[in-house]
Chain A
Amino acid sequence: MNAKNDHLDRLQSRLDREPSAPLSDEELVLLRDEIELAAQWDDLERMEDALRPTDAPEGLHDRIVARVAHEPIPTRPTHRSASRSFARFALVAAAILAVTVAGFHYEEEQSRRREGAAILASLPMPSLALPESQLTSTPITEVQAGTQPIRAFAKLGFKTAASPLRLMSEPEAE
């Protein structure tokens, strides 16, 4: 605590007499790192500004203004540009969402097609599984009722009653 007071006293002496040397390394580090000391020092300087304002050297104002004259005017980010940024973000997000949904549906359709093709490929020809004698005498509906090919047809969306095999095997109404 005493060490800090010593530093503050040394800093304060800069308020009472025009300093003839820069801050020491130690003072420099203290003003940077010691938040409480820096706050005290800022307050003391501010008090000095209020009680005993300093006049700037002659011509300093003009030199500063001349240097700033070459600088471009800074601009504050506006609400308009913020809303534009939001609109751009929303557009990109909507596009990404649309592509994702379309991709999902495409993949689902492809999957259904592949499944259908696989079922069709595995479909045995029932007529080849029957001996010729039976083929002519047995209605196909009796042979195939509840068998795999009929279920496969149903899965593909054909109604059993309307399946081509059944239609083929129905005896003609006399």
Chain B
Amino acid sequence: MTSSAKPTAVSSSPHAVERSTAVALARNDSSHSISDAELVERTLAGNRDAFSEIVRRHEGAIFARCLRICGNREDAEDLTQDAFLRAFRALATYQPNRPFAPWLTTIARNAALNALARRRQHARIDEIAAEPVARDQDGPLQRATLSELKAQLQEAAAQLPPEAAEVFRQRYDEDLSLAQIAESSGKSENSIAVILHRARLEIRRIILERKRSR
């Protein structure tokens, strides 16, 4: 994942850009050699394949975010499509010196929250701006690439108390469900959920603290 990398120089000719992207995609090395910001530039130069690559990289995260908001897979799929469509239309407003993933996920989150608010007119919930503002993308966890973040999370998890560290490891390294962890540890599922929630917040605190002290 290279979402925060700065764009390198790109050819001004859309056809040349299209060819070079096609070659990179054919080699299947795009996630290493082409940053998200550069893919955006190529899309703006007329290369739709570059946007297809952006979709491939981020559709899973955007779908997951929409699913957590709307709570069913069909709506989440529709919202994911809408989010990418909005992002495509707003692509010219994206600033290449900022990380792309938080920009995109903020568009998706705001679009999903607005869609939910529209369905609940009885609650008179005001819509929020679909375009992300700078503060949405300012946190250190948002700026880090996913691979950088994963390394930071694993490092911070090592500082957790033993019980929390074990639950965290089972959940993320072994990909066990809460029920499976509860069964193996002899605790209730609710207790495991509480331990996991606190572990996440503690890890976030450790990472933010570390960034502040640097």
Contacts and interface: CB of A to CB of B under 8 A. Distances in A.
Co-complex (A, B): yes
Interface of A: 8-9, 12-23, 25, 28-29, 31-32, 35, 39-40, 42-57, 60-61, 63-65, 67-69, 71, 73-77
Nearest to B94: A76
Interface in B34-77: 43-44, 46, 48, 51-52, 55-56, 59-65, 67-73, 75, 77
Interface string B189-200: 000011011001
A51 to B, nearest CB: 5
B23 interface: no
Given A53-B61, A73-B44, A23 B200 contact: no
A71 to B, nearest CB: 6
Contacts of B92: 74-77
A74 B89 contact: yes
Contacts of A21: 71
A43 B142 contact: yes
Contacts of A61: 52, 55-56, 59
A146 to B, nearest CB: 80
B51 A68 contact: yes
Given A23-B116, A42-B136, A50-B149, A57 B77 contact: yes
Contacts of B91: 74
Contact of A57 (B44, B63, B84, B175): B63
Considering residues A40, A47, A55, which has the most beta carbons from chain B within 10 angstroms of its beta carbon? Answer: A47
Contacts of B106: 42
Nearest to A16: B178
Contact of B142 (A8, A35, A46): A46
A51 B80 contact: no
B200 A12 contact: yes
Interface string B165-209: 000000110010110000000000000011011001101100000
A16 B142 contact: no
B19 interface: no
Given A47-B149, A74-B88, A56 B80 contact: yes
B125 interface: yes
A20 to B, nearest CB: 6
A46 B139 CA distance: 11
B146 interface: yes
Contacts of B27: none
Nearest to B127: A32
Contact of B116 (A20, A28, A35, A53): A28
Given A28-B125, A29-B125, A69-B48, A54 B56 contact: no
A24 to B, nearest CB: 10
Given A9-B194, A22-B69, A56-B60, A42 B113 contact: no
B5 interface: no
22 contacts: A12-B196, A15-B68, A19-B67, A19-B68, A22-B72, A29-B123, A31-B113, A42-B106, A43-B139, A46-B105, A47-B141, A47-B203, A49-B146, A50-B153, A57-B77, A64-B85, A65-B52, A68-B84, A71-B89, A73-B43, A74-B92, A76-B44
A170 to B, nearest CB: 86
Nearest to B106: A42
A45 B68 contact: yes
B16 interface: no
